Amino acid sequence: MDVLGDRVLELGPKPDASSPYRNFKLTRDADGLAWLLFDREGASANTLSADMIEELDKILTELESTRPAGLVIRSAKTSGFIAGADVNEFRGASDARAVETSIGRAHAVIDRLEALRIPTVSVIHGFCLGGGLEVALACQSRIAISGARFGFPEVMLGLHPGLGGTARFTRLVNPMQAMSLMLTGKTIDARKAKALGLVDAVTEERHVRNAVKDAVFGRLKRARPGILNEILNSAPVRGLLAWRMRSEAAKAAPRENYPAPYALIDLWEKHGGDKAAMLKAEKTSFANLMVTPAAQNLIRVFFLREQMKKLAGSGNTINHVHVIGAGAMGGDIAAWCAHQDMHVTLADMKPEPIAGAIKRASDLFGKIMHKRTDVRDALDRLVPDLDGEGVRNADLIIEAVPEKLDLKQKVYAGLEPIMKPGAILATNTSSIPLQDLRATLQKPERLVGLHFFNPVSRLQLVEVVSHDGNDPQILKAALAFVGAIDRLPLPVKSSPGFLVNRALTPYMLEAMMMLDEKIDKRTIDAAAEKFGMPMGPIELADQVGLDICLAVGDMLRTKFGDQLPPTPAWLRDKVAGGELGRKTGKGFYSWKDGKADKGAALSSSSEPTPEMIDRLVLPMSNVCVACLREGIVDNADMIDGAMIFGTGYAPFRGGPLNYARSRGVQNVTATLYALAVRFGDRFQPDAGWHDFK
């Protein structure tokens, strides 16, 4: 028995200490049922590796010969059932035939589990994802514990399910819903899984043994596909639905950048009516996807996220956060911290911004929380604090006032005398060096930068900015705090623009230079989107706020001068006239209900050129190399991760430095030289390219 929260995990009879298996525990109970517990050696969560599959094959041989009354499959890990495949085994794959051979061996084992001539039941708690869900689908019955979550996240890795999930899932449940889950990578809870027919019962931990007996001895009504499933899986209907699926997929991701969704749709359209054919074709399709640059780069991104999580360390000491400035950033930072179980006080000079921030928080919680009581509790943790009394008890104060040095220093002068000993003072500045901000502080060692990105609830990166006078323990605590609120920290040394804004500024200013050249703003945005960016630089400038873009550009120009495109005079006029972008309803685009009105589609004569794309994206790689050379960030992988998680830089390209590496450093520098000759010295390659590998 293991403790899962305040529940007890029903793991069947006590395992034999002399078990011959490293990653499994196999026992029998008084009813003659075999209980097979997944328990991967040396890991906190179960993932399916080649050695686990091989060991499972041996166990199936034993079960075929001993013929128990039934088989119950569970996880011995409190973290959940099986979190999916061991992604480490996907890295560096380059031979599709070798991948297909390997996946074929795993297929044979899962097929063998499905073919067992005894009742088989999977009992699922926690996460049941990817390959774990494919194991469960091979069982005759599935029992979910309340709180379990199910999904196929393979599309996030540039893949689709590869252990028979495409065939079994689309036959068991409504194929439209099954395909939607596989195409989006979304997870569903136990009750939704029951409604779909993915699981046969949802129960509480204390009732597991009775539910298992009902399943094994035929008393549990199993979910079975109905006539609608047969109709939707018929060839004519598959053809129509597949066409619609491709149209929807194209809105989110073009085939050339993200081939996995289209491969999955092709697989179902061609073979959805024939399980055996689909299982066979799935192996080939999966293997072909595995060796694509898109999949290998997305797998790389998975590991970049894991590396950045480790930077947070552990031992968070922050419980009470006080945020000063209830504008778009400050209010959303406060809301996110409250969502992550922090006690938060939110201060501003006027009540109206605080009220607006609370309203936005309520809207956010309603979207991302499933229970009304959770929404209520999160709002209870977010306390309006017009008088700023929260400063006295806060473990962390986050200043998020406008980007003006004198204003920030004035705020610090009022804060510092009343902060409690050991409290951290953090600034959300996007560009001002901490060396300037600390000049008037009595204890500059406790000032750090915590630079969040907009929108806070979606962009995972937080730049943790240090200066040369920091207390190392303060930095350690700041990193742990970022991890505690489910964000990814990037340690960065203080310098104008830090990493992300320094890299993004030439991208957006170059787009404005193109506007001066009378290139249509939609063509400019289309160039970036064709490369794979989530939105173009013109739309991004509107999202960020043209006033912020102008302030950051001016700040960076004082340090980097001719390395940046000049700021157009008309941009200052727009800002002076109150055309700030999305937040005012008008910038480069008109905005309504949070969306830019881009008018009619572009004509074929307005298609972006390769030169336009290079002008936009290569300066980002150039700045990233400069930041690496200067030691602003000391790790090229972390630079790539920061640009992906902080800006949405095309994930399938693996980051701006990985893109340069894959394109070829010589090609990149030659292209930059050519652009410098044509457009100016701002394109001169950085000296860091000489040592970049």
Helix or strand run (H / E) with residue 484: helix 472-484
Out of 10, 55, 154, 529, which one is annotated catalytic?
A: 154
Out of 55, 134, 529, 579, which one is annotated catalytic?
A: 134
Coil, strand, or helix at residue 464?
Answer: strand
Produce one character per residue of 196-220: b if its CB has 16 or more CB atoms within 10 Å, e if not: bbbbbbbbebeebbebbbbbbeeeb
Q: Which amino acid makes up residue 463?
A: E
Task: Say if residues 652 and 297 touch (Cβ distance below 8 Å).
Answer: yes
**Could you tell me which residues come within 8 angstroms of residue 419 by beta carbon, excluding any fewer than 6 positions away?**
391, 392, 394, 397, 425
Tokens read off for 511: 């787009």
Peptide bond into 651 cis (omega under 30): no
Within 13 A of 556's CA, how many CA atoms are on the CB side?
26
Residue 134 annotated in active site: yes
Query: How far is it, in rounded angstroms, from Cα 170 to Cα 218?
Result: 24
Tokens read off for 368: 């991302």
Produce one character per residue of 49-85: b if its CB has 16 or more CB atoms within 10 Å, e if not: beebbebbbebbeebeeeebebbbbbbbbeebbbbbb
Between the alpha carbon of residue 545 and those of residues 163, 550, 574, the distances in Å are 46, 9, 11
Pair type for strands 447-452 and 424-427: parallel
Query: How far is it, in rounded angstroms, from Cα 530 to Cα 536?
Result: 9
Query: Taking the C-alpha atoms of 172, 177, 179 and 184 in order, what is their torsion angle to the nearest 10 degrees?
Result: -130
Query: How far is it, in rounded angstroms, from Cα 434 to Cα 448?
Result: 8
Tokens read off for 119: 């009742």
Query: How far is it, in rounded angstroms, from Cα 690 to Cα 693?
Result: 9
Give the residue carrying structure tokens 């399916």: 48
Residue 89 annotated in active site: no
**Could you tell me which residues come within 8 angstroms of residue 425 by beta carbon, excluding any fewer than 6 positions away?**
397, 399, 412, 415, 416, 419, 441, 446, 447, 448
**Could you tell me which residues come within 8 angstroms of residue 115 by beta carbon, excluding any fewer than 6 positions away?**
none
Coil, strand, or helix at residue 425?
Answer: strand
The residues carrying an active-site annotation are 134, 154
